[in-house]
Structure 1
Amino acid sequence: MLDRLKKVVSGQKTLFGLPDKVVAGHDELKINIGSLHSALISSRKQYNKLSDLEFRVFSQFGDDGIIQYLTQNIDIPHKTFIEFGVEDYFESNTRFLLQKDNWSGFVIDGSEQHIGKLRSSPFYWKQDLESQAVFITKENISSLLKPHVDRWGGLGLLHIDLDGNDYWIWEALNLKPVILILEYNSNFGSERAVTVPYNPSFYRTDAHYSNLYWGASLRSLYELSRSRGYRFIGCNNAGNNAYFILEDYMNETVREVSLEEGYVSSKYRESRDEHGRLTYLDASERNDKIKGLSVINTTTQTPEIF
């Protein structure tokens, strides 16, 4: 099918080799199907675990469903979001929220090429979406976000996904989003509150060839978020995103869970060898691969060896 379409539009400058109208039509179909899923999920008054709410439209895993349930069942005064580390935004956790529910947003990625691709997409001009290509550090993050949050008057959802300095960036921010989504590194396990040491130019492949040494443990992010008035409600089934709600917005449709109850160990296998080839290590093997590396205990703020 795709090969036939590419032949039809041969010679035209199009996204993915397809005309913009074809891409837009495919996206509209996905959004319509996702809207049906959203209506079914959002009408539920109880669930056993957060992953019961999952479905996928534009998110990498099932986060679209979780986000739809939360935004439809919590009274959020500002329909606004910020998401970090979005690459070209074609696969992201807030795009469905943007296009289906018409939220306003600001997204950041470190690549000029990725942001250029986003800005030339068929949907970019139709929505209130701003974007910027910049490498995020704890020194620049507040100045990057403040103009947007000030313009909106508040922030509904924040998603931090940096594969690196996630803990330090969240610590540096003085924001109170209603919904907070933090990527955690399950390779660090659930027992220890640890993160990689802060490095303003952190890049995980350079930090360790395995691509497994990055970010922070769930316990580390849990403790920091609790200290800021957030309640933990669980993780997605993929075991990479943790969800928190500002305590003033908790209601009977969402339930707080313990870290032990909500923790999910990831099963996706993205480990690499010294030559950059996938090694498909399981959870215990991944944990062993990063043993002996330096971490910071975020409870005591002291260096340790993992």
Structure 2
Amino acid sequence: MLKWLRKRQAVPQDKKSRKVKPGREEITSLLLMGRMLANHVKEHGIYENLHDAEFKVFSQFGDDGILQYLIHQTQPKKHTFIEFGVQAYTEANTRFLLLNDNWSGLIMDGDHTSMEAVRNLPDIWRYDLQAVGAFIDRDNVNSLFASAGYTGEIGLLSVDIDGNDYWVWEAINVVDPVLVVAEYNSVFGAEHAVTVPYNPAFDRTRSHYSNLYWGASLKALCLLAEKKGYAFVGCNSAGNNAHFVRKDRVGNIPVRTVKEGYVESKFRESRDADSNLTYLRGSQRLKEI
């Protein structure tokens, strides 16, 4: 049944567009199937591999399912989230939590137009969501959180800004999340702790034409997580998001080493100097940068 439901989740697509924004009926159907999948995940108990808990409703890949599992296991007292780097919030790690679980949250993106569009969604008044347009760096992140009323313990922090992810997470000290999702760059491999140097105006396309030079390696994020009191519990099967649980809430969730949990992405998003896709694979991507 779980596999059948996962297949049924796909949003219809037309021939002209890679993505179609789901309408109200489609969202209702997605939420219904997502709730069934979430109940299945919760009833399962402990997963040895996070991949087995995956399902997608609004997350880019299977992180909706992983988060439902981790939340059920850790039982955060504060049903609140912060996510930044959400673009138009059509694909996000927290939207299912907002619509299905009625969590409160703060989302931020450097594109002010996207945040305005979120604030103008037809039914957004039903939910406690703040959408703030801001370009986030390590010097303003804490004040942005505090000015929105987010300090102390929160349930979830999701970090995805395609650049200074390591440095911004390192700087965060006004909130104490139970769970953290942080995007990693699998092109850097599993062996080395690597991050791009801090640059408050970092842009991945301007930094290297290939669009592959950004963010931090999984090992770098795991070392930072250890310093901040978090345990690494695995990555999604797509190889782009790492999941961390605050050590006082890990319980029976299996903790992983970098070697055990690393997943290499299969994304072929590389570009040449003229911005044409070159579809580099595997280790070819690292050689390019």
TM above 0.5, one fold? yes
Q: Which residue of 2 aligns with 1:135?
A: 135
Change in 2 beyond 3 A, CA 1:231/1:149: farther
Cα deviation per residue 1:63-114 (whole Å; 9 max; x = unaligned)?
1000111112212010000001000101111000100000000000001111
Residue 2 (structure 1) shift: 8.4
State the one-letter code of the partner of 1:224: L
Query: Letter of the aligned partner of 1:208 in structure 2?
Result: H
The structural deviation recorded for 1:256 is 0.6
Aligned to 2:264: 265
- How far apart, CA to CA, are the structure 2 residues paired with 1:192 and 1:123? 45
Structure 2 match to 1:251: 251
**Higher Cα Rg: structure 1 or 2?**
1
Whole-angstrom distance in 1 between the partners of 2:282 and 2:150: 42
Structure 2 CA distance, aligned partners of 1:185 and 1:134? 23
**In structure 2, what is the equivalent of residue 78 of structure 1?**
78
Q: Which runs of 5+ in 2 are unaligned?
A: 1-11, 15-19
Q: CA deviation at 1:141?
A: 0.6
1:115 aligns to what?
A: 115
Residues 24, 122 of structure 1: 8 Å contact kept: no
Q: Is the 8 A contact 1:87 1:109 kept in 2?
A: yes
2:187 is paired with a residue whose SS is: helix
Q: Residue 183 of structure 1 aligns to which amino acid in structure 2?
A: E
Conserved? CA contact 1:180–1:243, under 8 Å: yes
> Counterpart amino acid of 1:82?
I
Q: 1:2 to 1:285 in 2, by over 3 A?
A: closer
Tell me which residue corresponds to 1:163.
162
Q: Say if 2:233 and 2:244, in contact at 8 Å, map to a contact too.
A: yes
Aligned partners of 2:153 and 2:178 also within 8 Å: no
Q: In structure 2, do the counterparts of structure 1 residues 286 and 28 end up closer, same or farther at CA, with 3 Å as the change threshold?
A: same
Amino acid in structure 2 at the alignment position of 1:211: N
| Contact 1:90–1:118 under 8 Å retained in 2 | no
In structure 1, the partner of 2:227 is: 227
**Residue 149 of structure 1 contacts residue 155 of structure 1 at CA under 8 Å; is this kept in 2?**
no
Task: Quote the residue 1:6 is aligned against.
Answer: none
Equivalent-residue separation in structure 2 for 1:63 and 1:194 (angstroms): 24
Deviation at 1:271, TM superposition (A): 0.9
Q: Does the residue aligned with 1:226 lie in a helix, a strand or coil? A: helix
Q: Post-superposition shift, 1:148?
A: 3.7
Q: TM-score scaled by structure 1?
A: 0.85
Shift of residue 41 of structure 1?
Answer: 1.1
The separation in 2 between residues aligned to 1:146 and 1:114, in whole angstroms, is 22
Q: Cα distance, 1:278 vs. partner? A: 1.3
Q: How many residues in Structure 1 have an aligned counterpart in Structure 2?
A: 272
What's the offset of the Cα at 1:46?
A: 2.6
Q: C-alpha displacement at 1:149, in angstroms? A: 5.0
In the TM superposition, structure 1's runs of 4+ consecutive aligned residues that sit over 4 Å from their partners are none
Structure 2 residue 273 is matched with structure 1 residue 274: yes
**How far did 1:287 drift?**
1.0
Q: Where does the alignment leave 5 or more consecutive residues of structure 1 unmatched?
A: 4-15, 291-306
Contact 2:80 2:155 in 1 (8 A): yes
Which amino acid is 1:156 matched to? Answer: G
Secondary structure of 1:195's partner? coil
Structure 1 letter corresponding to 2:159: I
Residue 154 of structure 1, CA deviation: 2.4
Q: Equivalences for 1:1-306 in 2 at 5 Å? A: 23-150=23-150, 154-174=153-173, 175-252=175-252, 254-290=253-289
Deviations 1:257-299 (A, max 9, x none): 1111001011111111111111111011101111xxxxxxxxx
Paired amino acid for 2:264: S
What letter is aligned with 1:262?
G
SS in 1 for 2:158: strand
Q: TM-score, normalised by structure 2?
A: 0.90
